[in-house]
Amino acid sequence: MKNKLIGIFIALTVLLELAMLGCSPRSNTSTDSLHEAFSGIFFIGTAMDIPQITGENQQALDVIKRHFNSIVAENCMKSVSIQPVKGQFDFTHSDQFMAFGRENGMHIVGHTLIWHSQAPDWFFVDKNGGVVSPEVLTERMRTHIHTLAGRYKGQVHGWDVVNEAIMEDGSWRNSMFYQILGEDFVRLAFEFAHETDPDAELYYNDYGMANPGRREGVIRMVKDLQAQGIRIDGIGMQGHVHLDSPTIEEFEESIVAFSELGLKVMITELDVSVLPWPGTFVSADVAMSAAYQAEMNPYADNLPDNVYEELRNRYLDLFRLFIKHQDHISRVTTWGVHDGQSWRNYWPVEGRVDYPLLFDRNYEPKPFVLEIIDMGNEARK
Ligand code: GLA
């Protein structure tokens, strides 16, 4: 009896420790579900768009439930959607998003509390049309964060507290937040988030994080927050990458550098564009020409085998890298489920056909996804 009790105690302790690590226990059984293949290694997440959140796109929801165990809202938690008019909060979609997450036992990420983009104009303007004072902006940030993070207190596992504050050369982005409050806006955002939901993890999220300049700038900012005793738990490396850039080595350097800050690293917005990047100095005439349009949208009908092969290699290289650094990476989230929904089809050029995600336009996993699943099964052994 005593031995049995000790056994139960040990099992409970192990489970508790795993829960504290934010992981489910590893199982050795092979699986054909992506998130199960990586169970105990890192969460496999996806961003959800509105037709998924409202339940209109059932096919996508079936894929999400089978292959993903973490979700983030693509747009509906951004400030322009949540508080389009001062004091008027619209939680219609965010409530539905949260309900889906709760009902399906998802690890839920809130995106994003403070971001210069997709923010309503009123946030920075007083009633006479002038720029608000630092005190007024601080209050607006406080209200926004308290209201949004407060509504989902205890339900959101981690918040992208600040998005995209650092430029490629490591300097501060000259956003309205920065212009009005200076670098202190980041500290304030993290403090407001932490006092609202002390159990939620708090992240800084940015793109182009493999870039050495931005990497150094982010490290400086994080060390400064840490020196002030501000809670920050993780760094989100948006993974909006291309077939050949950044290099795996550059990406790896940032994973290592961020983990050395004692923080979790998350690959937050993974998608691999196969399309050419538009030139900067293209005249309006050329830009409108049929030849240029065709050059910019080369795979409108289908993806040639050789480009598929490049995409496959790129994804396999990335997942190999993530598995190598599994001790520091807590989540890999793709920016959407299937190619048809991806923002890459309309940015930086409208109306293209890109192939950046793991599932194709028919919601089928691309063949290399089975290889990624095998990699997860192998890594769990
Ligand atoms: C950034 C943001 C995301 C999203 C993408 C484009 O990466 O963090 O929320 O807007 O741009 O879809």
154-177 confidence digits (pLDDT tens): 999 999 999 999 999 999 999 999
The answer to whether residue 12 scores a pLDDT higher than 90 is no
Q: Estimate the share of the chain in helix, then strand, then coil, as percent rounded to the nearest 5.
A: 45, 15, 40
Whether residue 80 has its Cβ less than 6 Å from ligand 1: no
172-187 b/e with 16+ CB inside 10 Å = b?
A: beebbbbebbeeebbb
For tokens 């599994």, what's the residue?
326
Regarding the beta carbon of 206 and ligand 1, being less than 6 Å apart is answered: no
Active site residues: 164, 269
CA 343, CA 238: separation in Å to the nearest integer? 14
Q: How far apart are CA 249 and CA 254, in angstroms?
A: 9
Number of residues in the chain: 381
Find residue 265's DSSP bridge partners: 235, 329
Quote the Cα angle for 190-250-282, to 5°: 95
pLDDT for residue 21: 44
Q: Any alpha helices (H) in the chain, and if so which ranges?
A: 2-21, 34-37, 50-53, 58-67, 79-82, 92-103, 134-151, 176-181, 184-196, 212-227, 248-259, 284-288, 290-296, 305-324, 367-380
In this prediction the pTM is 0.92
- Ligand 1 geometric centre to CA of 163 (Å): 9
CATH 3.20.20.80 at 34-379, yes or no: yes
Q: Is 94 in the pocket of ligand 1 (CB under 6 A)?
A: no
Residue 364 confidence (pLDDT) above 90: yes
Contact 315, 250 (CB under 8 A): no
For the ranges 245-249, 264-268, 294-298, the lowest mean pLDDT is seen at: 294-298
Instruction: Give the start-to-end residue ranges of the domains of the chain.
Output: 34-379
User: What tens digit of pLDDT does each residue of 40-98 get?
Assistant: 999 999 999 999 999 999 999 999 999 999 999 999 999 999 999 999 999 999 999 99
The confidence score (pLDDT) of residue 292 equals 86
Average pLDDT score over residue span 187-206:
98
**Residue among 219, 213, 212, 192 at smallest CA distance from 204:** 219
Pocket test for ligand 1, best of 237, 269, 334, 344 (most atoms within 8 A of CB): 269
Q: Whose CA is nearest to atom 1 of ligand 1?
A: 207
Q: What's the mean pLDDT in 119-127?
A: 96
Supply the DSSP string of 312-333, one letter for each residue.
Answer: HHHHHHHHHHHHHTTTTEEEEE
pLDDT in tens, 315-360: 999 999 999 999 999 999 999 999 999 999 999 999 999 999 999 9
Q: Rounded to an integer, what distance in angstroms lies between the CA atom of residue 207 and that of residue 196? A: 26
Q: For ligand 1, is residue 269 a contact (CB within 6 Å)?
A: yes
Two tokens at 262?
């004692």
Calpha distance 12→9 (Å, rounded): 5
